[in-house]
Amino acid sequence: MKHLNLFSPIKIRGLELKNRIDFPGMGTFYTDDGGYVNDKFIHYHAARALGGTGLITTEATSVHAPSAPRNFLNISDDKFLPGLKKFTTAIHDAGAKVCVQLWQGGLTAPLFDPDVLRFIPSDITVDNLLGNPLPEPITFQGCAKEMIPEVEKAFGSAAKRAVEAGFDTMEFHLAHGYSPHAFLSPAFNHRTDEYGGSFENRARFPLECIQEIRRNIPDDMPLLMRIDAFDDYVENGLTIEDVISFCKLAKAEGVDVVNVSRGNPVSLGMKFEVPPIDLPMGYNVEYAARIKEETGLITIAVGRINEPNQAEKIIADGKADMVVMGRAQLADPEFCNKASAGNDDDIVRCIGCNQGCGSSPMTCTRNPAVGREWEYALQATEHPKKVVVIGGGMGGLEVAITLKQRGHEVVLLEESDRLGGQFYIAGLAPGKSEMKEAAISRGQQAIKAGIDVRLSTPATPELLDSLHADTVIIASGAHPIELNIPGKDLPNVLNSFEVLEGKVIPKGKIAVIGGGLVGLEVAEFVVDADKNNDVTVIEMLDEIGKDLASARRLCIMERIPEKNIHVKLGAKCVEITKDSVITSKDNLQDEVACDYVIMSVGSISNDTGALTAYCEERKIPYYVIGDAKKARKVIDAIAEAAEIARAV
């Protein structure tokens, strides 16, 4: 299937896009200090343009110099024009149209650069910023009225500069708690002058910004606007009816396209800005559909739209006119080319892990070349070798596929009867089936690439002798850590892998030792398996979920009380009995009654001594990578695999 609706052209005023896919603004932190374009920034975007997307949208681009964080893209002065012109030329040469996202960060800007001016409508007291709880609430002071025209003019000047720089269109950012959104929302705007109070007054500042932008761009240039469908997790926030009313006013002032997002930086709503795997795919599409129907605006849907068939159906069903597919194109910059050719099975899929896209600078678990596109461009080997890869987890698959792409002969040995390693097992946890599917898909891609994949095949000396390898890569993974405490060998003591794989289904009172990601997920797993299970997570640290990316942590922490999972913090497990776990805290012992104990205190590398000794005795070059080297996150294993595969 070639997804004919998704890859049909669309015309907006004088701009024609070759397909309905927008590669959106995402904070990369790639620019040079001060917000200047550099080659790294260009190569990153150009890779997605070459990959077939219709529209490239820059990350948030500062329009107002006094409030511009130094590590954000900037368009507030003519001094930025040379770099911006170089950027737009590169995107056009790569075959895409290009949009600049005009941004004034409001409350968020000083979080990234404490020296910048704060511009928010009124005093705001918050106890959570960008998903991080604060030791005590902080009050931010609202702006003086005299500043408002200055910022409005800055939007207009930036728009004029964008036209000169060669942008095809621009997007006015009115979402995520940034200043236009903050002025519009009664949750953030408590002013009593003509810019606050009634809906009409609160709409004044963003509408005046739109007027300034529209005055400074050609009539045939479309204007996009990013909005929140409504306000999440804040009192007295915008409703979808409010947003629809504002969109109609914005349309009258010259806005052509509305990009429907969600989220804000001061509440649990932050999880919607970079939505993790915990949120359903396409969770925001129905709100975009309603806004499209009631406003008549060309509408872009956003929110975990990762699959070609999913995106095609959204367009075909008339739910939206375009779709944002951002992280899908981080994971695979060739996403659009592959989907348009009907080669969906070749796509490396985003799985919403948020391990790389939530960091600064931005990376990607599935694609270590993000931000290193020029450096990591694959080079065919001039000296093909026979490489034996031991281990078919995600690191082993990454190194094997990359070596094959470079022209090496690759044999992959996997001791178990399936590929994907711990990533596959992680995909058995609640709401994480996309990880399991991604592991299966990557294995299938390895086989399709022509790699000699041998399952249920231990790497014995005899087999390795027969393969005559030039190089060996050991990616044999890790296994669960077993606490060395009395009672660890009792029959009611399990590890998290056994439970997630369904080898044992515990029932009754269950103690989970370890409050990291896997411990929390296995706790959810046993509750979902039987609502009558009574689960307690025992964690020796002062909080749970410390190893989680912020948005994932927000989601899981929200679910723990909803599922009545108990948490015992600061408690060290000292003994397991047939019906309890004994803990120690502040030299006082306590007891957690349980029928089963699930150990989930991390993993430790499998022993590679015999394999490394074999290679050293025969003078075969070898590498130990991924969890076999040191048990870490999957992003580390895949990144290491990608680096080694380019070095062989």
CA 48 to chain CA centroid, nearest Å = 16
Both 120 and 264 in one domain: the answer is yes
Round to whole Å and give the CA distance between 584 and 589.
4
Whether the Cβ atoms of residue 430 and residue 458 lie closer than 8 Å to each other: no
378 domain-assigned: no
pLDDT at 440: 97
Read off the tokens for 423.
């990533």
Round to whole Å and give the CA distance between 396 and 601.
24
Round to whole Å and give the CA distance between 247 and 249.
5
Q: What is the pTM of this model?
A: 0.95
Is residue 188 over pLDDT 80? yes
Lowest-confidence segment of 101-115, 183-197, 615-629 by average pLDDT: 101-115
352 domain-assigned: no
DSSP three-state, residue 428 = coil
Instruction: Name the DSSP letter for residue 470.
Output: S
Both 457 and 336 in one domain: the answer is no
In this predicted model, which residue has the larger pLDDT, 437 or 112?
437
What total of structural domains would you count in the chain? 3
| Rounded percentage of the chain residues whose pLDDT exceeds 70 | 100
**What mean pLDDT is predicted for residues 435-456?**
97
pLDDT at 383: 95
Q: Is 407 left (phi over 0), alpha (psi -120 to 50) or beta?
A: left
Instruction: Name the DSSP letter for residue 36.
Output: B
Both 40 and 137 in one domain: the answer is yes
pLDDT at 589: 93
Both 227 and 249 in one domain: the answer is yes
Site of tokens 């590498």: 623
Is residue 186 over pLDDT 90? yes
Q: pLDDT tens across 586-605, in order?
A: 989 999 999 999 999 999 99
CA 136 to chain CA centroid, nearest Å = 28
541 domain-assigned: yes
361 domain-assigned: no
- Among 283, 318, 346, give the residue marking a domain's end: 346
What pairing do the DSSP bridges indicate for beta strands 15-17 and 21-23? unpaired
Q: Is the peptide bond before 491 cis (omega within 30 degrees of 0)?
A: no
How many C-beta neighbours within 10 Å does residue 241 have?
A: 11
Is residue 238 over pLDDT 90? yes
Whether the Cβ atoms of residue 413 and residue 474 lie closer than 8 Å to each other: no
What pairing do the DSSP bridges indicate for beta strands 603-605 and 509-513? unpaired
Q: Which of 30, 178, 195, 596 is catalytic?
A: 178
Both 559 and 431 in one domain: the answer is no
Both 513 and 528 in one domain: the answer is yes
pLDDT at 16: 98
Both 589 and 611 in one domain: the answer is no
DSSP 518-578: HHHHHHHHHHHH-TT-EEEEEESSSSS-TTS-HHHHHHHHHHHHHTT-EEEES-EEEEEET
The domain spanning residue 443 has which CATH number?
A: 3.40.50.720
558 domain-assigned: yes
Lowest-confidence segment of 182-191, 318-327, 425-434 by average pLDDT: 425-434
Round to whole Å and give the CA distance between 257 and 266.
27
Is residue 335 over pLDDT 70? yes
User: Is residue 548 very low, low, confident or very high in pLDDT (cuts 50, 70, 90)?
Assistant: confident
CA 586 to chain CA centroid, nearest Å = 39
Is 424 an active-site residue?
Answer: no
Is residue 358 over pLDDT 80? no
Is residue 129 over pLDDT 80? no
Site of tokens 């890869």: 389
**What mean pLDDT is predicted for residues 119-139?**
80
How many C-beta neighbours within 10 Å does residue 251 have?
A: 17
Round to whole Å and give the CA distance between 598 and 601.
9
Q: Which residues contact 54 (CB under 8 A, 6 or more apart)?
A: 10, 17, 18, 19, 20, 21, 22, 96, 97, 322, 336
Read off the tokens for 398.
């990454």
Q: pLDDT tens across 360-408, in order?
A: 899 999 999 999 999 999 999 999 999 999 999 999 999 999 999 999 9
Both 405 and 525 in one domain: the answer is no
Both 469 and 497 in one domain: the answer is no
Round to whole Å and give the CA distance between 560 and 544.
10
**What mean pLDDT is predicted for residues 505-521?**
94
Phi first, then psi, for residue 570 (nearest 5°) are: 65, 25
Phi first, then psi, for residue 78 (nearest 5°) are: -65, -20
134 domain-assigned: yes
Exposed e or buried b for every residue in 91-129, given b needs 16+ CB within 10 A?
A: bbebebbbbbbbbbbbbbbbebeeebebbbbbebebebb
Instruction: Name the DSSP letter for residue 341.
Output: T
CA 151 to chain CA centroid, nearest Å = 31
Whether the Cβ atoms of residue 73 and residue 57 lie closer than 8 Å to each other: no
Round to whole Å and give the CA distance between 10 and 473.
48
307 domain-assigned: yes
User: Is residue 436 very low, low, confident or very high in pLDDT (cuts 50, 70, 90)?
Assistant: very high
Q: Which amino acid is at 305?
A: I
Round to whole Å and give the CA distance between 243 and 230.
7
Q: Which residues contact 153 (CB under 8 A, 6 or more apart)?
A: 212
User: Is residue 479 very low, low, confident or very high in pLDDT (cuts 50, 70, 90)?
Assistant: very high
Both 225 and 200 in one domain: the answer is yes
Exposed e or buried b for every residue in 358-390, given b needs 16+ CB within 10 A?
A: beeebbbbbbbbbbbbeebeeeeeeeebebbbb
- Among 322, 346, 370, give the residue marking a domain's end: 346
The domain spanning residue 552 has which CATH number?
A: 3.50.50.60
Strand residues in 131-283 grouped as ranges (E): 132-140, 169-174, 223-228, 257-261
Read off the tokens for 299.
């509408």
Q: Which residues pair with 301 in a beta bridge?
A: 260, 323
User: Is residue 332 very low, low, confident or very high in pLDDT (cuts 50, 70, 90)?
Assistant: very high
pLDDT at 1: 64
Both 459 and 314 in one domain: the answer is no
487 domain-assigned: no
pLDDT at 8: 98
Q: Which amino acid is at 607?
A: D
Alpha-carbon distances, residue 126 vs 136, 184, 265, 266, 434 (angstroms): 9, 18, 10, 6, 34
Is residue 110 over pLDDT 90? no
DSSP three-state, residue 294 = helix
Round to whole Å and give the CA distance between 265 and 269.
7
User: Is residue 2 very low, low, confident or very high in pLDDT (cuts 50, 70, 90)?
Assistant: confident
User: Is residue 321 very low, low, confident or very high in pLDDT (cuts 50, 70, 90)?
Assistant: very high
**What mean pLDDT is predicted for residues 577-593?**
94
Whether the Cβ atoms of residue 443 and residue 455 lie closer than 8 Å to each other: no
Q: Which residues contact 273 (CB under 8 A, 6 or more apart)?
A: 176, 261, 262, 263, 264, 265, 551
Is residue 133 over pLDDT 80? no
Both 594 and 611 in one domain: the answer is no
Q: Report the candidate in 60, 50, 56, 71 with the shortest Cα–Cα distance to residue 26.
A: 60
The residue segments making up the domain with residue 22 are: 10-346
**Average pLDDT value over all residues in the chain:** 95
Q: pLDDT tens across 250-262, in order?
A: 999 999 999 999 9
Q: Which residues pair with 453 in a beta bridge?
A: 412
User: Is residue 328 very low, low, confident or very high in pLDDT (cuts 50, 70, 90)?
Assistant: very high
